Amino acid sequence: MIPVDITDQNQSWTPVEARPVRRARSPRVGCVVSAVAALAAAVLGPAALAQEMVTQTQQGQELLVSITQPDVKVASKSYPAVVFQPGDSVTVTAGGCVQTGGRGKTWKRYVNPSGPNSDRLYHGLVQIPGATAGLVRLSGVAGKTLAIPAGFSAPAGQTLHLTLGYEDDDYHDNGYYRHDDGTGNQCAGTAGGAAWLKLTILHGGSATVALAPFDLTWTAADENGLPLNPMWGKQVDPHQPGLPGLALCGTPWKPPCTTQSPVILDLPWPFDPLHPLNFLCTASGPLGRHVNWGVATYTGAAVWDEHSTGIRGDDDYNINAWRLDQAAYTQDNPNFVHTEFDSDETIDHFSTKWWSQFHDTVDHGNPHAIIDGHDIIEIGVIGLDCAHGCGSEIHPVLVLALHVSDDPADDQWAIFARNTGDEGFCSHDSVLAPELTTVYLTLPAPPGATAVSASSTSSFQKTADQIQLTTFPLLTGTAPTALVLKIDLGDPNGAPMVNGELHLQWTVPSSAAAALRARRLRERLPAAAAMRPAAPEPEEKYAQMVAKLPAASQQKLAQLGAMKAAVPNWLTLQPVHLSRPPAGFRSRAFTGRRVAAARSGAALGRATVVPNPKKQEYYQKLGEILKEANAPAQPH
């Protein structure tokens, strides 16, 4: 069959992230090129020499998609003509090289580049809706078969279409001009030509592929289409299921422990190898860094852990989440999933009633009595904290909902939401999550509920005018199964945030209400001691170091730690309440089928990692104080 050329020279560009500048470009050295190429490059620029070609060919039940010279001059590009269907099986292959610009030999492999900065840059990216949770590196999916869940659907008015991207910090001189053998000769020979990508799409096909121990997999998604309560591959091993751990696989962040492409974050101050905090982190875990798999939703029972406070901590609130099925647990955290958020970015500035009371309780009372055993819903970046052993964590928590009262007459949820946050003690990075520009929180109905209404006592604050809240029920017939809170946050670069309490009134038969009030999880929770890590954490080691410093140095550290973020200019906000789902709303939730993206080893999409200037300044000044006090780079 003759292939159909669907190249669209006018396709719109859809960047999904602003990438940080990580390196300086060097000026090009001159070289001899053909007169035609030189003229084109001089007059029209390198982009004129690249000609992307997209074709689709139907061969029996399979649709073959071929893209030659995929565009590498932007962070991401949509291909609305390449459309998938729920239940599709998609095999991905890719190869070739890309001109990345700079001095000397500058071509690099499209799938698995090598050389300086290749840990963060020069990777081709792909997004297949439902099979990858966002744009992921081709190195994690090339040669594998992915599957789009049969229950997955696009938002109203949209299609399940292909998106490609490219990781770089300067796109203007990327392309396919002036071929060379590449950095370290990685593009020498016939395999070093221009980049290409091929997809083999089988409508209604299915993929059955083995999981590595630290591949993240899931059988359900929430209303945002995000993985819901994912598990590690070892947990669903059909032969010997169990919790993965370092004894099973010592390097969870790379093959053969995972076939995915998690993001390894920078150290607290990577610009100075002798910075004491770098040692504290690397000495406390097998990698010394945080490793991010992607954005996910996690539900369970909350258990208070601690507030890492004062000059000896990172000011994070630490809450553990407990589930009967041990979703995402590891041998390093066999009783919980650890979750964290920086109070200096969040609750320190909240002034709504419940959050203010909780803040005071953390500082002066017993927070266990406030939240232990209560339902919790968290959306954030899930991964491994390999600077604190190597256990699972959600860090940062970007969206949190605590079920603080389950009285049907005044059902109360304490909620905050944002789409950017920092990575804690052992990193100077933050994440931006454009996936959470709009967030749907699904709050379950009590057993037997026949109706729900919103109370006028709900109270929220927001940081920007554009932030809006809307509630509506999910209905089975006329009975509500859940109440959805839609949170329109906007661009994460503006650091939008909302906090407050949502009060609901459910119509529930008295017998069901009595059963609901009697339901408590505290007696089933692990003992508090089991929720604490066995080995000293970097923050504890740092506290020991600080305790040995002269009083003058401790005073300087205290003054440095007192530097707080600016208080937001809060605006009041009331949710808009609808009696039915709004027109055009289409649920993206599904259950019952394991997502083959994870089964095949596909990398999860992840929020954008960017440097945090405030933390960089803090760690630089902290290092200066420690060096002045002659604190050892390797404390004893």
pLDDT at residue 514, as a whole number: 54
- Find the DSSP H helices in 152-237: none
pLDDT at residue 451, as a whole number: 93
Q: Which amino acid is at 256?
A: P
pLDDT at residue 531, as a whole number: 63
Q: Is residue 545 very low, low, confident or very high in pLDDT (cuts 50, 70, 90)?
A: confident
Average pLDDT over residues 431-450: 91
Q: CA angle, 437 as apex, 435 and 441 as ends, to 5°?
A: 85
pLDDT at residue 82, as a whole number: 96
Closest CA to 396 of 599, 242, 608, 600: 608
CB atoms within 10 A of CB 317: 24
Q: Tokens 């009083």 map to which residue? A: 551
Q: What pLDDT digit, counting tens, does each position of 354-410 carry?
A: 999 999 999 999 999 999 989 999 999 999 999 878 999 999 999 999 999 988 999
Q: Is residue 536 very low, low, confident or very high in pLDDT (cuts 50, 70, 90)?
A: low
pLDDT at residue 38, as a whole number: 41
Average pLDDT over residues 533-561: 80
CB atoms within 10 A of CB 323: 15
In three-state form (DSSP H/G/I as H, E/B as E, the rest C), the secondary structure along 457-493 is: CCEEEECCCCCEEEEEEEEECCEEEEEEEEEECCCHH
Given a cut of 90, whether residue 521 has pLDDT beyond it is: no
Q: What is the DSSP letter of 630?
A: T
Check: CB of residue 15 under 8 Å from CB of residue 164: no
State the Cα–Cα distance between residues 223 and 261, nearest whole angstrom.
Answer: 25
pLDDT at residue 495, as a whole number: 94
pLDDT at residue 156, as a whole number: 63
Check: CB of residue 218 under 8 Å from CB of residue 590: no
Average pLDDT over residues 64-91: 93
Q: Which amino acid is at 417?
A: A
pLDDT at residue 60, as a whole number: 83
Check: CB of residue 357 under 8 Å from CB of residue 335: no
CB atoms within 10 A of CB 58: 12
Q: What pLDDT digit, counting tens, does each position of 294-353 carry?
A: 899 999 999 999 898 766 567 899 999 999 999 999 999 999 999 999 999 999 999 999
Percentage of residues in the chain having pLDDT higher than 90: 47
Range with the lowest mean pLDDT among 32-41, 92-101, 129-138, 293-302? 32-41
Q: Tokens 């789409």 map to which residue? A: 419
Q: Is residue 497 very low, low, confident or very high in pLDDT (cuts 50, 70, 90)?
A: very high
Range with the lowest mean pLDDT among 280-289, 347-356, 570-579? 280-289
Range with the lowest mean pLDDT among 279-283, 384-388, 452-456? 279-283
Q: Which amino acid is at 603?
A: A
> DSSP labels for 176-197?
S-S----GGGTT-SGGGSB-EE
Check: CB of residue 568 under 8 Å from CB of residue 455: no
State the Cα–Cα distance between residues 204 and 85, nearest whole angstrom.
Answer: 8
pLDDT at residue 187, as a whole number: 97
Average pLDDT over residues 176-191: 94
pTM: 0.74
Average pLDDT over residues 230-253: 91
Range with the lowest mean pLDDT among 305-319, 437-451, 482-496, 595-609? 595-609
Paired residues of 137 in beta bridges:
125
Closest CA to 261 of 423, 133, 432, 385: 133
Average pLDDT over residues 173-200: 95
pLDDT at residue 302, as a whole number: 94
The helix (H) or strand (E) run that includes residue 497 is strand 497-507
pLDDT at residue 419, as a whole number: 95
Q: Is residue 614 very low, low, confident or very high in pLDDT (cuts 50, 70, 90)?
A: confident
Average pLDDT over residues 547-570: 83
pLDDT at residue 564, as a whole number: 65
From first CA to last CA, the distance across the chain in angstroms is 71
Given a cut of 90, whether residue 584 has pLDDT beyond it is: no
pLDDT at residue 101, as a whole number: 92
Is the four-CA dihedral 310, 312, 314, 316 of positive or negative sign?
Answer: negative
Given a cut of 70, whether residue 244 has pLDDT beyond it is: yes
Average pLDDT over residues 11-23: 31
390-406 core/surface letters (b: 16 or more CB in 10 A; e: else): bbbbbbbbbbbbbbbbb
The residue that leads in pLDDT, 81 or 8, is 81
Closest CA to 105 of 16, 42, 187, 23: 187
The residue that leads in pLDDT, 136 or 43, is 136
Given a cut of 70, whether residue 20 has pLDDT beyond it is: no
Range with the lowest mean pLDDT among 5-9, 142-146, 267-271? 5-9
Residue 216: HSE in the Cβ half-sphere, 13 Å Cα cutoff: 36
Q: What pLDDT digit, counting tens, does each position of 317-330 carry?
A: 999 999 999 999 99
Average pLDDT score, the chain: 82
Percentage of residues in the chain having pLDDT higher than 70: 81
Given a cut of 90, whether residue 414 has pLDDT beyond it is: yes
pLDDT at residue 50, as a whole number: 57
State the Cα–Cα distance between residues 249 and 260, nearest whole angstrom.
Answer: 14
List all residues 6 or more positions away from 64 whose beta carbon is below 8 Å from its beta carbon: 3, 56, 57, 58, 198, 199, 200, 201
Average pLDDT over residues 192-208: 85
Q: Is residue 519 very low, low, confident or very high in pLDDT (cuts 50, 70, 90)?
A: low
Region of 426 please: left (phi>0), alpha (psi -120 to 50) or beta: alpha
In three-state form (DSSP H/G/I as H, E/B as E, the rest C), the secondary structure along 432-454 is: ECHHHCEEEEEEECCCCCCEEEE
Paired residues of 91 in beta bridges:
145, 200
Check: CB of residue 417 under 8 Å from CB of residue 363: no
Q: What is the DSSP letter of 360?
A: H
Given a cut of 80, whether residue 267 has pLDDT beyond it is: yes
pLDDT at residue 80, as a whole number: 93
State the Cα–Cα distance between residues 267 and 633, nearest whole angstrom.
Answer: 14
